[in-house]
Amino acid sequence: MHRAITIEEAVAMIPDGARVMLSGFMGVGTPDGIVRALAASGRRDLTMIVNDAARPHLGVGPLIRARCVRKFIGSHIGLNPDVQEQMREGSLEVELVPQGTFVERIRAAGVGLGGVLTRTGLGTLIAEGKRTVEVEGTTYLLEPPLRADFALIAARSCDHVGNLSYMLTATNFNPIMALAGDVVIAEPEEIVPVGVIPPDAVKTPGVLVDHVIGRSA
């Protein structure tokens, strides 16, 4: 059985300078409790691997506003003025990755692949400094896997052995990020007995989950 931990215990595990994956699409499917607690903790120099920068009060936004983040790796920053301001002043490094490539790089890390071959980005700034591979006369970019020290994911339900289910579009990046974090911390809306989640609804098996944040904590 997974021991439920508090948000404070979860935050204490994450040191300055950690590489952190954060689930969510414009804040939907993001573990908001641990994000707010991490933002309030004073952590510094985090590398955040997250699809988008959301807004100052959504998704990864509170961490950026609190200046916890040194590097952002993701696909979209256009709706968060804090990111743009910190980029201009040189305090935040941004690596933009096409969304399909972003997902595949995470998947590659999770399943043990050495990288992803893609034509997306050829002939653009995305390709500068990157290796290319030719396969049957076609040139591809070789994109490396994306792995993190911690994956922070949000779930609708979690049972007592850590199996997770998600709700509709809030599923987004949660299952794939659960494969690619050395330590996976889940923040579910509810914790239920084994058997309450139908087997077909389990999207992340408990063997992948290291810690579960208890809702009553």
Q: What is the DSSP letter of 145?
A: P
Max Cα–Cα distance, the chain, nearest Å:
58
- 138-to-102, 134, 141, 145, 198 alpha-carbon distances in Å: 21, 5, 10, 21, 45
CA pair distance 115, 141, nearest whole angstrom: 10
Res 80: pLDDT: 97
**Residue 35, SS3?**
helix
Beta carbons within 10 angstroms of residue 7's beta carbon: 19
Predicted pLDDT of residue 217: 38
Which phi and psi angles does 181 have, rounded to 5°? -105, 135
pLDDT of residue 216: 47
Over residues 24-49, the pLDDT tens digits come to 999 999 999 999 999 999 999 999 99
Place of tokens 């607690």: 37
pLDDT digits (tens, 9 = 90+) for 73-122: 999 999 999 999 999 999 999 999 999 999 999 999 999 999 999 999 99
Q: Characterize the bridge pairing of strands 164-165 and 148-159.
A: antiparallel
- 180 pLDDT band (50/70/90 cuts)? very high
- Count other Cβ atoms within 10 Å, centred on residue 141: 20
Residues 3-26: pLDDT tens digits? Answer: 789 999 999 999 999 999 999 999
What pTM was estimated for this model as a whole?
A: 0.94
Alpha helices by DSSP H, 115-214: 174-180
pLDDT band at 135 (very low <50, low <70, confident <90, very high): very high
pLDDT at position 2 over 70: no
For residues 197-202, average pLDDT: 96
| CATH architecture designation of domain 4-113+144-213 | 3-Layer(aba) Sandwich (3.40)
Mean predicted confidence (pLDDT) in 163-178: 97
